[in-house]
Amino acid sequence: QVKLVESGGGSVQPGGSLRLSCAVSGVPSITDVVMSWHRQPPGKERELVATISSTVYNIKYADSVKGRFTMSRGSARTTVYLQMNSLKAEDTAMYYCNAEFSRHGIRIGELWGQGTQVTVSS
């Protein structure tokens, strides 16, 4: 019933922009959802890029993307975006959306997106 779909990756030149989208559907209203964007550059470990709560507008960013990336929510609390500006070659990675579900403060599960490739090169 619960589904997560992400999209928006592509290839751009340095300084360009991309907007990633992640939509989660079928989540019961009583379930709290914390959504986040992660990325995994070639040959490196997966890292957290940004995260946001579905109920509290408190966004956290990795230092490497502050001032360049903006995470936001759509009209639905379980729809999020990652606006990526001033892209650099080091931003090249597979980007993954994650949704962590909890009830009454207890984690009950999570979903990962299939990944969307972002490539920044001249």
Judge whether 82 and 49 are in contact, CB under 8 Å.
Answer: yes
Residue 55, pLDDT score: 63
* pLDDT confidence of residue 80: 93
What tokens were used for 1?
A: 């019933």
Strand partners, 95: 39, 116
pLDDT given for residue 30 in this prediction: 78
C-alpha 13: how far from chain center: 21
pLDDT number for residue 96: 98
Over the chain (122 residues), what is each successive 10-residue block's mean pLDDT?
94 98 89 93 96 78 97 87 98 97 92 97 94
Q: Which strand (E) or helix (H) includes residue 100?
A: strand 93-103
Nearest partner of 61 among 94, 91, 101, 89, judged by Cα = 91
The per-residue pLDDT for 56 is: 61
A 10 A CB-CB count for 31 gives 16
Contact assessment for residue 36 and residue 49, using Cβ atoms and an 8 Å cutoff? yes
